[in-house]
Structure formats: C-alpha cells, structure tokens
C-alpha cells in the first residue's frame, strides 16, 4: 500500500489520538447523521474510532466489557444498549446530553 494512501478509519483514529477534544465534535456530527438518515452505523463507526483512539483495551477495562465483545458491540450491524453507549462515552470522558432545538 502506498504510504500516502491509508484507510479512512486509521487516519480518523490518529487524528482523535492527537486531539482528544475532537471527539466531541466528531460524535456530534455522527449523531446528526443518525437523525438525518435514520441509521446508526455512522454513530457506531465514530464511537468505535473514538474508543480505538482512547485504546480499546483501556476502554474495555473502564466499561467492564471484554475487548472482543466491545469490538463486536460497536460494529455497524449491532445495536448496543443505552448502558453500553453510556459506558463507552464515559470512558472517553464524554456524556450524551439532550437539548431542545
């Protein structure tokens, strides 16, 4: 593979590692996509990338979810529980809030 050609996920994870505060904006944009297209794959992909940037093993330890299970839970074909979403967001130093539009 050409060094200048890298997978999108890899680049996003690297950016999130370099600037952890980017996760706020990134996840908010992914959540907006969910409300636009009705799907949740975009949000789960973004949440998985944030968890990978934080270190999936560290997130797994913080949430109490085995690392392999966490990868499966955050796959685009799954529907994680609210408890799992909350735990992963908390591990990343974030929380889900609701606001009137």
Q: Which residue is listed with tokens 């130093």?
A: 93
What's the confidence (pLDDT) of residue 38?
Answer: 65
pTM: 0.84
Instruction: State the pLDDT confidence band at 75, using cuts at 50, 70 and 90.
Output: confident
Q: Tell me the DSSP string of 27-88.
A: HHHHHHHHHHHS-SHHHHHHHHHHHHHH-HHHHHHHHT--HHHHHHHTSTT----HHHHHHH
Under the banding of pLDDT at 50, 70 and 90, the label for residue 65 is: very high
In angstroms, how far apart are the furthest CA atoms of the chain?
A: 46
Residue ranges covered by each domain of the chain: 8-91
């Amino acid at each position: 593979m050409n060094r200048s050609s890298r997978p999108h996920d890899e680049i996003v994870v690297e950016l999130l590692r370099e600037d952890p505060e980017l996760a706020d904006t990134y996840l908010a944009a992914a959540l907006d996509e969910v409300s636009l297209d009705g799907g949740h794959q975009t949000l789960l992909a973004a949440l998985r990338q944030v968890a990978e940037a934080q270190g999936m093993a560290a997130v797994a330890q913080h949430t109490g979810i085995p690392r392999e299970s966490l990868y499966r839970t955050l796959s685009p074909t799954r529907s994680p529980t609210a408890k799992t979403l909350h735990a992963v967001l908390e591990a990343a130093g974030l929380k889900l809030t609701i606001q009137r539009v």
